[in-house]
Structure 1
């Protein structure tokens, strides 16, 4: 059973399943398209709260969108947790790609009620020694073929991502926070030797987190949803903080 919930006009999210709360932040512009099979599998173990930070899956696709700030996504995720978490219960958190960047910000700002955070291939490439070059390369690869519309009737989530999310999010460089909740940086097995994999490894070392390999590549959540969900459940519960 799925419940669509809204706290106010800022925060759009869906709730499904039962068990401990698991907040999921999608990649791209935050539209949860394609995550159905992953969420369905996770919902057999968790109460899955899928956050849609721009409301793109909740009727707002096509409306004007300002350049996005990582801090706004992180604070929005915190508001959602405040709305859905039972008293005294910590939350598991998972984010992939740009959503992975947002969960790192959430962890830095509000670690108190987080049981374990998994950030899958967050493109914080500026942490690399050659970060400026890798960021320029990433932007060129994604934006080079042409940009779909970000507003109007033909707007797409990819258009919003390229126009309003890609550049500000790839500038983000998270800092280590002492006493924070357990953190795991994740990368896909198919990403070995690529910039996203290397970035996750460097972030794990810099932030004092663990490193784990997951099925597939950067889009492993879509390519191998069942295996990815099972691996995520395993990692989330390993070494998790169980009380606030």
Structure 2
């Protein structure tokens, strides 16, 4: 059984879902919405209270100002507000891609609210030796979106991320995208991608030991940019990355296997 609720936050309203019973576990992405984590949440609900949400400005989470940028800091504050609404001091958290960046910002801004953060392939481009080139590539993708639209921007995004453009590449769902798909993609390119990709984590806060930090990399992510950024972050905080099934979107491709691996990682 899934319960859907809404929560007023500064500048908008969050839509979130609760399922299952047991220790609290938050699953999140950016720009991925709650629906993207549904199969993984279902696989974990037998022994966890699983909470998913639509990030601000995405799908069912609305903004007072649609032109407001979605920064990791704002999204982290939203997650802290969500914990308050759930009357919980802390939770375990799996963040994938931009959701992993949200989790890293949460540790820095709200110490003690996360027990274990599993940061699955955060796109922290500023940690790479070729950060300047990567920064220019992101800026070019955003420019392509404004000039040519969502489809062209996704194609450029996937190529820069290191995927072979094909049916297994990430991006909009197959077939004709819905109006919501297009709106989410437009928001990502116009108001989210730049701040998320260029976020610089507080390494001292991550290494302080107040929260356990696990860096996840997909078993088949190979030479993806997000595999490189994950290894760079793990090296900075002095830990060894943990392998998860699939690639950057492994939680959607193999939700049951991903859930089992996540359970293993979260065990004390």
TM-score norm. by structure 1 comes to 0.85
| Residue of structure 2 in register with 1:105 after alignment | 105
| Residue of structure 1 in register with 2:129 after alignment | 129
CA distance in 2, matches of 1:59, 1:73: 12
For 2:34, what is the secondary structure of its paired residue?
Answer: coil
* Runs of 5+ consecutive residues of structure 1 not aligned to the other structure: 240-244
Contact 1:182–1:209 (CA<8 Å) still a contact in 2? no
1:81 offset after TM fit, Å?
1.1
CA distance in 2, matches of 1:31, 1:156: 12
| Residue of structure 1 in register with 2:79 after alignment | 77
1:170 offset after TM fit, Å?
0.8
> Which protein, 1 or 2, shows the higher relative CO under an 8 Å CA cutoff with sep ≥ 6?
1
CA 59–174 in structure 1, closer or farther in 2 if over 3 Å, else same: closer
For 2:56, what is the secondary structure of its paired residue?
Answer: coil
Report the more deviating stretch, 2-11 or 222-231: 2-11
| Residue of structure 2 in register with 1:11 after alignment | 14
The alignment status of 1:24 with 2:42, answered yes or no, reads: no
Equivalent in 46, 49, 55 of residue 48 of structure 2: 46
CA distance in 1, matches of 2:50, 2:104: 19
CA 128–159 in structure 1, closer or farther in 2 if over 3 Å, else same: same
CA distance in 2, matches of 1:156, 1:148: 9
1:12 offset after TM fit, Å?
2.4
Bigger share in helix:
2
CA distance in 2, matches of 1:66, 1:160: 10
Give the alignment's Cα RMSD to 1 decimal: 2.4
Contact 1:196–1:218 (CA<8 Å) still a contact in 2? yes
CA distance in 2, matches of 1:217, 1:97: 11
1:185 offset after TM fit, Å?
0.9
| Residue of structure 2 in register with 1:228 after alignment | 258
CA 199–11 in structure 1, closer or farther in 2 if over 3 Å, else same: same
The alignment status of 1:163 with 2:180, answered yes or no, reads: no
| Residue of structure 2 in register with 1:118 after alignment | 118
**Number of residue-to-residue matches in the alignment:** 231
CA 221–227 in structure 1, closer or farther in 2 if over 3 Å, else same: same
Cα-to-partner distance string for 1:57-97 (whole Å, 9 max, x where unaligned): 32649x824222110000111111122144xx631011111
CA 65–208 in structure 1, closer or farther in 2 if over 3 Å, else same: farther
TM-score norm. by structure 2 comes to 0.78
Cα-to-partner distance string for 1:143-185 (whole Å, 9 max, x where unaligned): 7574339xxx674212211111111111101022123200011
CA 85–236 in structure 1, closer or farther in 2 if over 3 Å, else same: farther
CA distance in 2, matches of 1:211, 1:36: 25
CA distance in 1, matches of 2:200, 2:76: 14
Contact 1:147–1:162 (CA<8 Å) still a contact in 2? no
For 1:158, what is the secondary structure of its paired residue?
Answer: helix
